[in-house]
Protein backbone atom coordinates (compact mmCIF):
# COMPACT_ATOMS: atom_id res chain seq x y z
CA UNK A 1 0.00 0.00 0.00
CA UNK A 2 1.27 3.45 -0.91
CA UNK A 3 1.14 6.55 1.21
CA UNK A 4 0.24 9.54 -0.95
CA UNK A 5 0.65 13.09 0.29
CA UNK A 6 1.17 16.51 -1.24
CA UNK A 7 1.95 20.07 -0.32
CA UNK A 8 1.55 23.30 -2.26
CA UNK A 9 4.33 25.82 -2.68
CA UNK A 10 5.17 28.79 -4.85
CA UNK A 11 7.69 28.72 -7.64
CA UNK A 12 8.92 31.58 -9.80
CA UNK A 13 6.74 34.65 -9.56
CA UNK A 14 3.69 33.31 -7.75
CA UNK A 15 3.36 30.12 -9.79
CA UNK A 16 1.79 27.39 -7.67
CA UNK A 17 3.40 23.96 -7.65
CA UNK A 18 2.38 20.77 -5.92
CA UNK A 19 4.92 18.38 -4.46
CA UNK A 20 3.43 14.89 -4.73
CA UNK A 21 5.10 12.36 -2.44
CA UNK A 22 4.40 8.66 -3.04
CA UNK A 23 5.90 6.35 -0.43
CA UNK A 24 5.82 2.56 -0.14
CA UNK A 25 7.86 0.11 1.92
CA UNK A 26 10.27 -0.15 -1.03
CA UNK A 27 10.62 3.38 -2.41
CA UNK A 28 9.69 7.04 -2.23
CA UNK A 29 9.27 9.28 -5.26
CA UNK A 30 8.69 13.03 -5.22
CA UNK A 31 7.09 14.65 -8.26
CA UNK A 32 6.82 18.43 -8.67
CA UNK A 33 3.75 19.45 -10.67
CA UNK A 34 3.00 22.96 -11.88
CA UNK A 35 -0.61 24.00 -11.20
CA UNK A 36 -1.30 23.99 -14.95
CA UNK A 37 -0.23 20.36 -15.19
CA UNK A 38 -2.59 19.13 -12.47
CA UNK A 39 -5.66 18.75 -14.77
CA UNK A 40 -3.62 16.60 -17.16
CA UNK A 41 -3.20 13.93 -14.46
CA UNK A 42 -6.89 13.05 -14.97
CA UNK A 43 -6.00 11.82 -18.48
CA UNK A 44 -3.42 9.32 -17.22
CA UNK A 45 -6.01 6.55 -16.74
CA UNK A 46 -6.39 6.32 -20.52
CA UNK A 47 -2.69 6.80 -21.37
CA UNK A 48 -1.04 3.48 -22.15
CA UNK A 49 2.70 3.24 -22.58
CA UNK A 50 2.31 1.86 -26.11
CA UNK A 51 0.14 4.83 -27.12
CA UNK A 52 2.51 7.30 -25.47
CA UNK A 53 2.83 8.12 -21.81
CA UNK A 54 1.88 11.62 -20.64
CA UNK A 55 4.78 13.85 -19.61
CA UNK A 56 3.63 15.55 -16.38
CA UNK A 57 5.85 17.12 -13.73
CA UNK A 58 9.47 16.62 -12.75
CA UNK A 59 11.43 14.42 -10.37
CA UNK A 60 15.18 14.63 -9.79
CA UNK A 61 15.33 17.44 -12.39
CA UNK A 62 13.94 15.17 -15.09
CA UNK A 63 10.51 14.89 -16.74
CA UNK A 64 8.07 12.27 -15.43
CA UNK A 65 6.08 10.19 -17.94
CA UNK A 66 2.86 8.63 -16.61
CA UNK A 67 0.96 5.67 -18.05
CA UNK A 68 -1.53 2.99 -17.04
CA UNK A 69 -1.36 -0.48 -18.52
CA UNK A 70 -3.65 -3.23 -17.30
CA UNK A 71 -3.73 -2.72 -13.53
CA UNK A 72 -0.40 -0.87 -13.23
CA UNK A 73 0.32 2.85 -12.95
CA UNK A 74 3.89 3.55 -14.07
CA UNK A 75 5.95 6.70 -13.52
CA UNK A 76 9.04 6.87 -15.73
CA UNK A 77 11.59 9.49 -14.65
CA UNK A 78 13.93 10.54 -17.45
CA UNK A 79 14.15 12.15 -20.87
CA UNK A 80 11.01 10.46 -22.21
CA UNK A 81 9.00 7.24 -22.00
CA UNK A 82 11.57 5.39 -24.10
CA UNK A 83 14.81 6.68 -22.54
CA UNK A 84 14.09 6.84 -18.82
CA UNK A 85 16.37 6.39 -15.82
CA UNK A 86 13.98 5.41 -13.02
CA UNK A 87 10.71 3.47 -13.22
CA UNK A 88 8.16 3.27 -10.41
CA UNK A 89 5.12 1.00 -10.56
CA UNK A 90 1.99 1.23 -8.43
CA UNK A 91 -1.43 -0.38 -8.60
CA UNK A 92 -3.61 1.62 -11.01
CA UNK A 93 -6.08 1.88 -8.14
CA UNK A 94 -3.71 4.49 -6.59
CA UNK A 95 -4.44 6.97 -9.39
CA UNK A 96 -7.77 8.31 -8.04
CA UNK A 97 -6.12 8.95 -4.67
CA UNK A 98 -3.22 10.75 -6.38
CA UNK A 99 -5.63 12.92 -8.37
CA UNK A 100 -7.68 13.75 -5.29
CA UNK A 101 -4.58 14.58 -3.24
CA UNK A 102 -3.01 16.96 -5.76
CA UNK A 103 -6.29 18.70 -6.59
CA UNK A 104 -7.04 19.10 -2.89
CA UNK A 105 -3.62 20.71 -2.39
CA UNK A 106 -4.55 23.61 -4.65
CA UNK A 107 -8.00 24.30 -3.16
CA UNK A 108 -7.97 27.67 -1.46
CA UNK A 109 -4.32 28.31 -2.27
CA UNK A 110 -3.55 32.05 -2.51
CA UNK A 111 -0.68 33.29 -4.63
CA UNK A 112 1.89 35.86 -3.55
CA UNK A 113 2.37 37.76 -0.33
CA UNK A 114 -0.68 39.19 1.36
The per-residue pLDDT for range 83-113, each reduced to its tens digit, is 999 999 999 999 999 999 998 887 776 554 4
> pLDDT-based confidence at 14, cuts 50/70/90?
confident
Tell me if 6 sits within 8 A of 102, measured CB to CB.
yes
User: pTM for the complete prediction?
Assistant: 0.87
Instruction: Say how many CA atoms lie within 13 Å of 7 toward its Cβ.
Output: 4
Q: Residue 110's pLDDT is what?
A: 57
pLDDT(16) > 90: no
User: What residue ranges do the domains of the chain occupy?
Assistant: 3-106
CA distances (Å), origin 81, targets 13, 63, 103 = 30, 9, 25
Tell me if 2 sits within 8 A of 100, measured CB to CB.
no
pLDDT in tens, 43-74: 999 999 999 999 999 999 999 999 999 999 99
Q: Residue 24's pLDDT is what?
A: 92
CA distances (Å), origin 88, targets 24, 35, 57, 60, 112 = 11, 23, 14, 13, 34
Amino acid sequence: MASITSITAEFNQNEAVVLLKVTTNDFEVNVWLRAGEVPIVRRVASASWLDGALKIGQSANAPVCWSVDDDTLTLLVGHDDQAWDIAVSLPASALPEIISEIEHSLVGYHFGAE
